[in-house]
Amino acid sequence: MRPDGVNQMAHGNEAAGHGDHHGPPKGLVRWLTTTNHKDIGTMYLVFSLTMFLLGGVMALLIRAELFQPGLQFVNPGFFNQLTTMHALVMVFGAVMPATVGLANWMVPLQIGATDMALPRMNLFSFWLLFFAFLLLLSTFLVPGGAPASGWTLYPPLVLQTGNAFPMAIFAIHLMGASSIMGAINVIVTIVNMRAPGMTLLKMPLFSWSWLITAYLLIAVMPVFAGGVTMLLTDYYFHTSFFNAAGGGDPVLFQHVFWFFGHPEVYIMILPAFGIVSEIIPTFSRKPIFGYEAMVYAIASIAFLSFIVWAHHMFTVGMPLAGQLFFTLSTMLIAVPTGVKIFNWTATMWRGSLSFEPPMLFALAFLFLFSIGGFSGLMLAIVPADFQYHDTYFVVAHFHYVLVPGSVFGIMAAVYYWLPKWTGHMYDMALARWHFWLTAIFVNVLFFPQHFLGLAGMQRRVPDYATQFTDWNMVSSIGGFGFGLSQLLFVWLIVKCARGGARATAGVWDWPHGLEWTVPSPAPYHTFQKSPELH
């Protein structure tokens, strides 16, 4: 895991590649035509940040409406469009593209490859995603408005969508195709392009987590594409996959959806696991504890994700044996996850810790993700789930694993690698402000939602009974605090891209891994000659 003696001379003179013909074209053309993994990675990350802000605005409209009971700002139909689009934008537009962007930037650098294996497919998958979102977001403007069925798109409700229906489904097809191509690219890169001596079990954990995520994507995105295609044929060609009148079953859609949907949540969290596994050793100044166990834990989590899907639909009814199976298989996931949490903690044990912004986010991830994990265990218990189902407790649970889980992981990654990308150190004080405001407000925002859910407040409803007012107000205040804090993040990134103290190749005190052997900013072309690993 510590390829310290890497030959740096191989790329020493590539940093200033302006005049030579390998350099990028100037201006806009560069970004439209580039097949460079670093450029595409940057485009994915910028796209993701844009979507994060857009999805955040939708969330703030939701929280504004829920600040007090009654209907204030939006009508119920538009509220449903907001909850649906917030989810679709955050899942497919913010979190997934951010991890793809990180993979584009970092996987070739971590494994000593010149670029991604399939650069033109890489370009294609980015632009597919871009147009998929143009299509999806334009549904706000069509008669009937955006999809309002919830991101789960359950029939028969989803079939009441207006003109947006086929647009949303084609957008999902496009983003699915984009993710599958991205996944294929990552697998081919990792399998075929590792530097000599970089065996699989020497590969950094971020790359490992992405290799497994990529297989998950290829296994489940097509199932989702199939499911929404069935919706489309039910609607336009009068097939009866989910139409009870024609002999179909709407519950079947829920099975198809969650067969995709559960692995999907791991697609969002596994790269964050990988990121945290990079950061904690760096700032503990110790190698990761139990490297191989970490790899096997990710693989087991990925495997288990295929056999737990029905825990999302306990309340539709299933035999006792089914309930027991899905309860137990769900709880089993806590074992490999526990191994990971233990190993991260053990990595810090007797390490010489320092608390730079990436480490702060990684530690907050460790603590807050575990809270989301524990509420997941509660939801796995069938009788408890009957009470919690479709309440704010579920909303609190999945936001704890997604926001202080995946999103904190991504922010940690940005703070960890930003100097490598831009060549500048960022404003540490501003980053700390961003961290503390984010970490405090995320709890103000989501923790009260546990109480609301336990007290029986339903999700996806714009109004509520007056006894829920206090905690909703607290949650909304948290929401606005959290949202506004992210402006600091944007400002910090812009500032860092424009200038700042020069970053060294190693950036951090105890850098480990190939990405820290190339200069900062990473030159346009790296590892033209394979690095030597000792």
Partner 1 sequence: MTTPQEKSNRGLVARLLLLAAGSFAFGFALVPLYDVFCEVTGIGTRDQLSRAAAPVASAPDLNRIVVVEFTASVPNGGRWEFAPMIASMEVHPGRLYEARYTARNLAGRDTTGQALPSVAPLRAGRYFQKTECFCFTPQHFVRDEQRELFVRFIVDRDLPRGIDRLTLSYAFYDVTRVAGGTR
Q: So which residues are the catalytic ones?
A: 86, 115, 151, 178-179, 262, 264, 266, 277, 311-312, 337, 340, 459
CA distances from 34 to 97, 126, 522 (A): 17, 11, 16
Residue 308 binding partner 1, by CB under 8 A? no
Quick one: tokens of 390?
A: 């479709």
Binding residue for partner 1, selected from 164, 256, 410, 492, defined by CB under 8 A: 256
Residue 522 binding partner 1, by CB under 8 A? no
Binding residue for partner 1, selected from 243, 300, 458, 469, defined by CB under 8 A: 243
Q: Which is nearer to partner 1, 307 or 490 (CB)?
A: 307
Please identify which residue in the block is written with the tokens 């480490």.
Answer: 359
Please identify which residue in the block is written with the tokens 């994700």.
Answer: 305
Residue 230 binding partner 1, by CB under 8 A? yes
Q: Which is nearer to partner 1, 310 or 348 (CB)?
A: 310
Quick one: tokens of 507?
A: 């950036």
The one segment of 142-150, 245-253, 360-368, 406-414 that binds partner 1 by CB under 8 A: 245-253
Residue 191 in contact with residue 108, Cβ under 8 Å?
Answer: no
Q: Which is nearer to partner 1, 223 or 299 (CB)?
A: 223
List phi, psi (to 5°) of 458: -80, 150
User: How many residues lie near partner 1 (CB under 8 A)?
Assistant: 43
Binding residue for partner 1, selected from 19, 317, 383, 534, defined by CB under 8 A: 317
Class of residue 521 by CB neighbours under 10 A (exposed 0-12, middle 13-18, buried 19+): middle
Residue 231 binding partner 1, by CB under 8 A? no
From residue 163 to residue 192, the character string flagging contacts with partner 1 as x (rule: CB under 8 A) and all else as - is -----------------x--xx--xx--xx
Angle at 134 between CA 130 and CA 135, to 5 degrees: 120
- Separation CA 418–CA 409 (nearest Å): 14
Residue 247 binding partner 1, by CB under 8 A? yes
Quick one: tokens of 291?
A: 């490297």
- CA nearest 225: which of 176, 163, 152, 183? 176
Binding residue for partner 1, selected from 45, 107, 118, 231, defined by CB under 8 A: 118
Between residue 188 and residue 217, which ones bind partner 1 under the rule CB under 8 A? 188, 191-193
Q: What residues form DSSP beta bridges with 502? A: 424
Binding residue for partner 1, selected from 212, 219, 268, 493, defined by CB under 8 A: 219
Name the minimum Å distance from CB 200 to partner 1: 15
From residue 138 to residue 157, the character string flagging contacts with partner 1 as x (rule: CB under 8 A) and all else as - is ------------------x-
Q: Where are the alpha helices (DSSP H) in 357-504?
A: 357-380, 382-388, 392-401, 408-422, 428-454, 469-498
- Separation CA 224–CA 207 (nearest Å): 25
Residue 252 in contact with residue 246, Cβ under 8 Å?
Answer: no
- Separation CA 253–CA 251 (nearest Å): 5
- CA nearest 105: which of 32, 44, 33, 51? 44
The one segment of 4-12, 17-25, 128-136, 246-254 that binds partner 1 by CB under 8 A: 246-254
Name the minimum Å distance from CB 382 to partner 1: 15
Quick one: tokens of 336?
A: 């490999």
Class of residue 358 by CB neighbours under 10 A (exposed 0-12, middle 13-18, buried 19+): buried
Name the minimum Å distance from CB 225 to partner 1: 6
Count of alpha carbons within 13 Å of 378, Cβ hemisphere only?
18
Between residue 367 and residue 386, which ones bind partner 1 under the rule CB under 8 A? none
Residue 324 binding partner 1, by CB under 8 A? no
Binding residue for partner 1, selected from 53, 307, 318, 437, defined by CB under 8 A: 318
Q: Which is nearer to partner 1, 249 or 390 (CB)?
A: 249
Residue 454 binding partner 1, by CB under 8 A? no
- Separation CA 418–CA 425 (nearest Å): 8
Residue 245 binding partner 1, by CB under 8 A? yes
CA distances from 311 to 308, 315, 323, 383 (A): 6, 9, 8, 12
Q: Which is nearer to partner 1, 205 or 214 (CB)?
A: 214
- CA nearest 524: which of 41, 5, 9? 41
Q: Which is nearer to partner 1, 244 or 501 (CB)?
A: 244
Please identify which residue in the block is written with the tokens 């990654």.
Answer: 413
Residue 223 binding partner 1, by CB under 8 A? yes
- Separation CA 70–CA 73 (nearest Å): 10
The one segment of 7-15, 234-242, 334-342, 462-470 that binds partner 1 by CB under 8 A: 234-242
From residue 77 to residue 106, the character string flagging contacts with partner 1 as x (rule: CB under 8 A) and all else as - is ------------------------------
Binding residue for partner 1, selected from 226, 335, 386, 470, defined by CB under 8 A: 226
Binding residue for partner 1, selected from 206, 224, 266, 365, defined by CB under 8 A: 224
Binding residue for partner 1, selected from 6, 98, 106, 117, defined by CB under 8 A: 117
28 Cβ neighbours under 8 A, 6+ residues apart:
none
- Residue 220, classed as helix, strand or coil, is helix
Which parts of this chain interact with partner 1 (CB under 8 A)? Answer: 117-118, 156, 180, 183-184, 187-188, 191-193, 218-227, 230, 237-241, 243-247, 249, 251-252, 255-256, 259, 317-319, 321-322
